[in-house]
Structure 1
Amino acid sequence: MNTPGFWAGKLSDGQTVCIPCFKKIIKINPITANRLKNHTLTEINDLLQEKNSRLDEIIAQIKVINLNNSSFYLGRREINELPNILAPTETIDNIAQGSYNNGQGILVSTNRRLIFVDKGMVFGLKVEDFPLDKISSIQYETGLLLGSIKIFTTGNIAKIDNVEKSSAKKFAEFVRDKLSQPKEVVTNTIISEPNVLDQLEKLAKLKENGILTEDEFIEQKKKLLEKL
């Protein structure tokens, strides 16, 4: 009763996939979801585990940013989609919550680009990205409580509205500072793997501040050391 109908959940080793896992597989890899009979339960578990591990890495990066709890909660649907959107070596360095093109979501800054992610309840997932090398400038405006962020690219201006006042200022100034770096520095940041030693240092600080538990610290440390 808890498996997809018409044998859609059957695997090559005779095992079956339940409906909740089937929905997760569709989000992660629709092709795999349509060809379950070509995969074993071990392969499916590896696929789901990889997604969960990537999400853990992303959440750890967001905790370093020190995003306030309400923004994290309100943007949780979009954050859960980031493992499907970000490249394997793409890292998050800032986030702001706001609205864009009649949708509510999060504006994410990474080492490669800015991305607005809107995981709507009705219209599904909407993603628009702005590569760093295509952004000519970024500006912000603030009112009594809220503000807005304007992203200037070639022939286009994207305006993110309803951003919390202090977040609009901090996010825009952060990106502006990143864009002002020498081009070779920005290029290296975009194409290089994050420095493992730097990440280990950040993990240690998270553990010291009580953000990561001992088990979470050991798990993330092990993953980083495997990259050496």
Structure 2
Amino acid sequence: MNNCVMCSTGLKFMNTPTFGAGKLSDGGIVCTSCYKKINNANPSVAFKLKKYTLQQVQEILQVKADENNSKNSKLDEIKTELKNLNLGNTSLFLGRKEINELPQILAEGEKINNVIQGTYNNGHGILVSTNRRLIFIDKGLIYGLKVEDFPLDKISSIQYETGLLLAKVKIHTSGNIAVIDNVEKTSARQFAEFVRNYISQPKEQQTVFVQNNGEPSILDQIEKLAKLKDNGILSEDEFTEQKKKLLEKL
């Protein structure tokens, strides 16, 4: 009886993917557990596993592991950054789903300086202020992730209005007004005043966006993706999509 080429588990009927789905192009076979790992990393690769060698599959899993490690490390940094802000509101607790998305949303060198929670365009999420923009993030259960940003240099003014229990924040940009409703009154006032003071400062006094030279550059990451494409690990469409995401960070 053969063993799984990835984890060396003895292959039996109960732990072998059916209809030869776990067979690789170089003749090796993976067990059901390893097949699931491949599927979680890249479903399109798992679906056409017979086209890939063991080495290619291992490289795919390593790329995915590196991405997850980078994401978790970035998320830990963001959570520490938010904790150090001492905002004193419930936004960080109630907006946990949205905060977990920040590693993919924030660009290199982009720093958070304030957060509030509220509703916008019928979505409930958080409004994040950074040294570059305001970002409304809504991670819904049904409609998935929605992100809309307002570059600081496009914001003409920011206001707040308080009601009996809650408040709203109004962001004025090029003749348009974005209204964030259902915000805590104290948080709305502090957020609006902070952003107003921040955008009124001379550009040289605002936090400057810088590239973190300790991490691979965008060009280095694109070169790595191109190598994976040349080796047949990424399809042309997958390469184009990932390249586009990287270029958007420039």
Structure 1 counterpart of 2:210, one-letter code? S
* TM-superposed deviation, 1:155: 2.3
Letter in 1 for 2:138: D
For the structure 1 residues 51 and 7, does the alpha-carbon distance in structure 2 shift closer, same or farther, using more than 3 Å as the test?
A: farther
- Whether 2:96 is the aligned partner of 1:76: answer yes
Q: How many angstroms apart in 2 are the aligned matches of 1:20 and 1:77?
A: 26
Instruction: Confirm or deny that 1:191 pairs with 2:229.
Output: no
Aligned in 2, Cα 1:108/1:193: closer, same or farther, shift over 3 Å? same
Q: Which runs of 5+ in 2 are unaligned?
A: 1-13, 47-51, 213-250
Cα-to-partner distance string for 1:134-182 (whole Å, 9 max, x where unaligned):
0011001112221110000012100000000100000000000101101
Whole-Å separation in 1 of the counterparts to 2:36 and 2:181? 40
The question of whether the paired residues in 1 share the 8 Å contact of 2:158 and 2:171 is answered with yes
**Offset of 1:88 from its aligned partner?**
1.9
Tell me the percent identity.
57
The Cα RMSD (Å) is: 3.4
Amino acid at match of 1:105: G
- Preserved CA contact (<8 Å) 2:39 2:45: no
Equivalent in 125, 128, 136 of residue 108 of structure 1: 128
- The 1:132/1:162 distance shift into structure 2, 3 A limit, reads same
The TM-score normalised by the length of structure 1 is: 0.69
Give 3-state SS (helix, strand or coil) of 1:191's partner: coil
Residue 21 (structure 1) shift: 8.8
* Partners of 2:205 and 2:44 in 1: CA distance: 43
Q: Which runs of 5+ in 1 are unaligned?
A: 26-31, 195-228
1:89 paired residue among 105, 109, 122: 109
Q: For the structure 1 residues 154 and 50, does the alpha-carbon distance in structure 2 shift closer, same or farther, using more than 3 Å as the test?
A: same
Structure 2 distance, partners of 1:184, 1:68, is: 29
Pairwise CA distance, 1:121:
1.0
Compute the displacement of 1:69 (Å).
6.7
Q: Corresponding residue for 1:201?
A: none
Aligned positions, number: 184
Task: Supply the AA of the counterpart residue of 2:209.
Answer: I
Q: Which amino acid aligns with 2:192?
A: A
What TM-score do the two structures reach when normalised by structure 2? 0.63
Give the equivalent residue in structure 2 for 1:64: 84
Bigger CA radius of gyration: 2
Instruction: Give 1:127's aligned amino acid.
Output: V
Q: Distance between the aligned counterparts of 2:96 and 2:177, measured in 1?
A: 27
Residue 132 of structure 2 is aligned to residue 132 of structure 1: no
- Measured in 2, the distance between the counterparts of 1:55 and 1:21 equals 24
Q: Offset of 1:67 from its aligned partner?
A: 3.7
Partner of 1:204: none
